[in-house]
Amino acid sequence: PRVTGADADAIERSVEAALRPRSLDEFVGQQTVRDQLALVLRAAVRRGGSADHILLSGPPGLGKTTLAMIVAGELGASLRVTSGPAIQHAGDLAAILSSLDEGDILFVDEIHRLARPVEEMLYLAMEDFRVDVVVGKGPGATSIPLTLPAFTVVGATTRAGLLPAPLRDRFGFTAHLDFYEAADLARIIARSAGLLALDVDADAASEIASRSRGTPRIANRLLRRVRDWAEIHGSGKGDLAAARAALTVYEVDDRGLDRLDRAVLGALCTRFGGGPVGLSTLAVSVGEEPQTVEEVAEPFLVREGLMTRTPRGRVATPEAWVHMGLTPPANGAS
C-alpha cells in the first residue's frame, strides 16, 4: 500500500515513541538539567506530595516531551497530554482540569500558544488548585468555584520569552534545553541503532551525529534514512560510506544544514545582499511560515555562527557566504 502524508507521519511518530528513553538514566546528555530534575523528583517523592510545576524550554526535538514522560514515570503518576493550540476555550481547560486525579501530570506542549483566557485560568489553577467555571450566558451566568486535586503541570515551549510573567512565575522549576554536543548525539545514535537492531559503526555514528543539527530527533531520523540506504543499496550495515551516501540523498550537508536552512541562508545572501532583512520578508521568500523559520531554522543558524539577529533584521555572517559557496560583497557587509 502507498503511504502518504498522515500515515507517514503516524509511522514516524510511532518509531519515535519506540526510541524514547524511559528513565532519567537512559536520557543522554543535558547533564545539568538531568541533575536538577532528579533532585526535584526525589524531593517530591520523599515528601509524598506532587512535584512543583516544571517548565521546559528549547528548540523542537531536544527531548521536552520525553522528559515530561520521564517525570510522570519516575513519580509513578499518570500523564495527560495536551497542547496550547488544542485548548481553544477556557471551558475546554476546565473540563481537562476537573478530570485530573491527585498527583497527575498535565503536559502542555507549546504552552506559549494558549489563548489569553485559557492562560489565566491555568495559572490560577496552578496556584490555588481551583477554577471558577462559568455556567450560562449573559446576565444569568453564574460562576461556580471548583476545587481541584493537587496536580503538576509540565509545560513545554520553544519560546520561553513569549510566556507572560504571571504564568512563568507559577513554575517552581524551569529548565532550558540546549542543542546537544556531537558526542552525546553519537551515543543517542548508538542506543537507537541497538533498539532498531541495526549495525552501525562508530565512524558512521559520529558522521550522522555531526550532521544532526544538535538535535536527537534529527539524529534518530537520519539514522533511519541510513538504515534505508544500507538495506537498499549497501550491505545492510551502517558504515561510513552508507551514512555519507544516505545523507547526500536527503540533502543534509556536511554541517548538518538541511533544505530549509540552506534556503534561508541562500535567500538572505542572494536576494537580500546578506541582510539585514526582516523575519517575515525572509520567510515569504522561502515559502515558509515566519514561525517555522524563527523557531526551527534560526536557532541553529545563529548557534553555528552563520546568521545574526540585529534590531534591523537578520544578517548573514561572512562564514555563511563561504558555506554557501558565494562570494561576500566587497564592502564587507556582515
Question: Which residues participate in the annotated binding site for DNA?
Answer: 309, 314
Q: Per the annotation, where are the binding residues? A: 19-20, 61, 64-66, 127-129, 170, 180, 217, 309, 314
Is 327 one of the annotated active-site residues of the chain? no
Tell me the closest approach of the beta carbon of residue 168 to ligand ADP, in angstroms.
Answer: 18
Which region among 19-27, 131-139, 165-173, 231-239 touches ligand ADP (by CB under 6 A)?
Answer: 19-27
CA 271 to chain centre: 30
- Report the length, in residues, of the chain: 334
Which region among 16-24, 80-88, 91-99, 122-130 touches ligand ADP (by CB under 6 A)?
Answer: 16-24
Using Cβ positions, the residue closest to ligand ADP within the complex turns out to be 63
Residue with cell 499518570: 78
Is 158 one of the annotated active-site residues of the chain? yes
CB-based contact 41:51 (threshold 8 Å): yes
Q: Per the annotation, where are the binding residues for ATP? A: 19-20, 61, 64-66, 127-129, 170, 180, 217
16 binds ligand ADP (CB under 6 A): yes
Nearer CB in complex with ligand ADP: 212/317 = 212
157 binds ligand ADP (CB under 6 A): no
List the catalytic residue out of 64, 113, 168, 213.
Answer: 64
- Please state, in angstroms and as integers, the Cα–Cα distance from residue 124 to each residue in 74, 94, 171, 295, 296, following that order: 26, 12, 12, 29, 31
Q: Fill in the amino acid letter for 224.
A: R
- Of residues 57, 65, 157, 285, which one binds ligand ADP by CB under 6 A? 65
Cis peptide before 59 (omega within 30 of 0): no
Is 137 one of the annotated active-site residues of the chain? no
60 binds ligand ADP (CB under 6 A): yes
- Give me the long-range contacts of 261-268 (CB less than 8 A, separation at least 24): 261/213, 261/297, 261/300, 261/301, 262/324, 263/288, 264/293, 264/297, 264/298, 264/301, 264/307, 265/301, 265/306, 265/307, 265/316, 265/320, 265/323, 265/324, 266/324, 268/307, 268/314, 268/315, 268/316, 268/320
- Of 293, 220, 255, 155, the C-alpha closest to 20 is 220
Q: For the segment 175-194, give every residue that binds ligand ADP (CB under 6 A).
A: 188
Nearer CB in complex with ligand ADP: 29/214 = 29
Is 191 one of the annotated active-site residues of the chain? no
- Of residues 24, 53, 57, 63, which one binds ligand ADP by CB under 6 A? 63
Q: Per the annotation, where are the binding residues for Mg(2+)? A: 65
Residue with cell 557566504: 321
Q: Fill in the amino acid letter for 102.
A: E
Site size with ligand ADP, rule: CB under 6 A: 20
List the catalytic residue out of 104, 113, 152, 158.
Answer: 158
Which region among 62-70, 163-171, 296-304, 318-326 touches ligand ADP (by CB under 6 A)?
Answer: 62-70
- Give me the long-range contacts of 125-133 (CB less than 8 A, separation at least 24): 125/93, 125/97, 126/53, 126/153, 126/170, 127/170, 131/93, 131/94, 131/97, 131/98, 133/91, 133/94, 133/98
* Site track for ligand ADP across 200-229, x = CB under 6 A: ----------------xx--x---------
20 binds ligand ADP (CB under 6 A): yes
Nearer CB in complex with ligand ADP: 220/317 = 220
CA 75 to chain centre: 23
Please enumerate in sequence order all residues whose Cβ is within 8 A of that of 227, keeping only pairs 6 or more positions apart, or say none. Answer: 196, 198, 238
Which residues contact ligand ADP by CB under 6 A? 16, 19-21, 27-30, 60-66, 156, 188, 216-217, 220
List the catalytic residues: 64-65, 109, 158, 217
